[in-house]
Amino acid sequence: MSEPMTALKGASDTSGIATVTELGPRGMITLRGDLTAKPVVKAAVAAGGVTLPERGHCATEGKGGIAWMSPDELLILCDYATVSDRIADLHSKLAKHHALAVNVSDARAVFQVTGPYAREVIAKLAPVDMHPDQFNGTMFRRTRIAQVPAAFWMPDGDTVQIICFRSVAQYVFDVLNMAAQDGSEVGVF
């Protein structure tokens, strides 16, 4: 098989108040279905390797995980190399149920913003209250970054991971760097 390439080939910028990095290829599966149905939940838990997160949260462990996207949608994260196996497993487990599982790994880009001002960088771009009391722990938020849809969560207090569409990867990288440019710290959080 051909070698997977990320949208920006792992570009990184450390010149600003936070480090913006494009993360390597990440396996992602969109699973849609009735999230109260046991077979769907069981298959999702098996594919993601973690327990089902509650509404508005995600559960991650290493490269694997499950993110709650909407009342009928989950995003399953995994190692890029294992996506096709997991998709096949999902399809066989859900063959008799009303559900949809699609490999979206190559349709997405993943970014990471790290540093003590990571929260500020996101707060400048998304309509989300990034105060540590409001956005913390395993919370997962689908929203917009400047003008494009994106989703993010915080693996720890100084790190934000962002998922966006691959077609807007360059735009998201640029606006993140603009929001993180040197000397632009506000100091509200």
Instruction: Note the residues at the interface with another protein (CB under 8 A).
Output: 55-56, 69-71, 73, 127-128, 141-144, 149
CB of 69 to another protein, least distance (A): 7
> Whose structure tokens read 């939940």?
41
Q: How far is the CB of 132 from another protein (least distance, A)?
A: 18
What count of Cα atoms within 13 Å lies in the side-chain half-sphere of residue 188? 12
| Closer to another protein by Cβ: residue 136 or 143 | 143
Q: Closest approach of Cβ 19 to another protein, in Å?
A: 25
Burial label, 174 (beta-carbon count in 10 A; 0-12, 13-18, 19+): middle
Nearer to another protein, 93 or 119 (CB): 119
- Our CB check for another protein shows the closer of 57 and 166 to be 57
The CB-of-151 to another protein minimum distance in angstroms stands at: 9
What is the closest distance, in whole angstroms, from the C-beta atom of residue 100 to another protein in the complex?
A: 14
For another protein, the closer of residues 38 and 55 by Cβ is: 55
Question: Which residue number, 144 or 166, has a Cβ lying nearer to another protein?
Answer: 144
Give the side-chain half-sphere CA count within 13 A for 102: 9
